[in-house]
């Protein structure tokens, strides 16, 4: 092969590579990227007394989460609840299936259908949770620790909590003085909770705004900020990336 021929060959290969990359960029922009990594989504619903975990906030959160999950075949969505006798109870689970056809139209139709069916499934399964008397305690740290210890079927993972952050296990956070953030972490680790390296992924807190009257939960904006700081410090100490939303969460930041 002479030098001129070799140059033409290299140029042709570069053009093919560029075209392939451009096509991947276009399909990704249109929402039809077939290579989005599967994720395990663990949702912890805190429907304890005065908490913000309600049928409405659960549905709103699932609307966001299931839309993201539907675009990631082989992902798994698991719904957990805080319970009066069990720290965290798995009440529902569903795997994301793939479309039978690979056309953009077929993929979109499959995602829409899967989202609708999954939303009905999770909200129906959660109905008994709201029918029972609300739990009087929110052992949030214990519940998060138990969920983190559960095997995840995928490499990527997101843990999402729906509730008002009012821990009543390690500390009693409804009223009274909150501890220093480092003291809180020390208390957690002393009880083998949220240990370093146990949560190397996103931990999302949704609907953290108080919905009950302030005189019940002694809530003020500064106290809410201090409580959020406690959990942020604890999650970071566990290796996680905390995110807080006073209403429904957003999951636009891709994990892959």
Summarised one tens digit per residue, pLDDT across range 231-252 is 999 999 999 999 999 999 998 7
Q: How confident is the model at residue 5 (pLDDT cuts 50, 70, 90)?
A: low
What's residue 36's pLDDT? Answer: 84
Separation in Å, CA 16 to CA 24, 29, 216: 12, 20, 66
Residue 218 backbone zone (phi > 0: left; psi -120 to 50: alpha; other: beta): left
Q: Cβ(224)–Cβ(180) under 8 Å?
A: no
pTM of the full predicted structure?
Answer: 0.82
Summarised one tens digit per residue, pLDDT across range 163-201 is 989 888 888 887 778 899 999 999 999 999 999 999 999
Summarised one tens digit per residue, pLDDT across range 45-63 is 999 888 889 999 999 999 9
- Over 80: is that where the pLDDT of 210 sits? no
- Which has more pLDDT, 148 or 252? 148
Cα(49)–Cα(159) distance, rounded to whole angstroms?
22
Per the listing, tokens 């079927």 go with 153
Summarised one tens digit per residue, pLDDT across range 66-77 is 999 999 999 999
């Amino acid at each position: 092969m002479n030098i001129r021929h070799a140059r033409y060959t290299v140029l042709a290969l570069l053009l093919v590579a560029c075209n392939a990359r451009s096509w991947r960029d276009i399909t990704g922009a249109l929402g039809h990227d077939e290579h989005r990594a599967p994720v395990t989504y663990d949702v912890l619903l805190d429907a304890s007394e005065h908490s913000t975990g309600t049928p409405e906030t659960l549905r709103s959160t699932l609307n966001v989460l299931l839309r993201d999950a539907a675009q990631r075949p082989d992902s798994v969505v698991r719904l957990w609840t805080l319970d009066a006798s069990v720290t965290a109870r798995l009440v529902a689970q569903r795997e994301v299936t793939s479309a039978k056809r690979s056309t953009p139209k077929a993929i979109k139709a499959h995602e829409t259908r899967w989202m609708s069916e999954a939303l009905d499934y999770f909200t129906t399964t959660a109905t008994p949770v709201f029918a029972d008397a609300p739990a009087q305690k929110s052992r949030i740290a214990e519940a998060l620790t138990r969920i983190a210890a559960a095997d995840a079927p995928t490499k990527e993972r997101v843990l999402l909590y729906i509730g008002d952050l009012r821990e009543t296990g390690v500390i009693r956070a409804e009223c009274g003085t909150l501890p220093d953030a480092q003291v809180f972490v020390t208390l957690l680790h002393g009880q083998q909770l949220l240990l370093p390296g146990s949560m190397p992924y996103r931990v999302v807190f949704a609907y953290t705004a108080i919905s009950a009257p302030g005189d019940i939960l002694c809530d003020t904006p500064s106290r809410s900020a201090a409580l959020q700081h406690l959990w942020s410090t604890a999650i970071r100490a566990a290796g996680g990336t905390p995110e807080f939303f006073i209403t429904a969460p957003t999951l636009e930041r891709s994990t892959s």
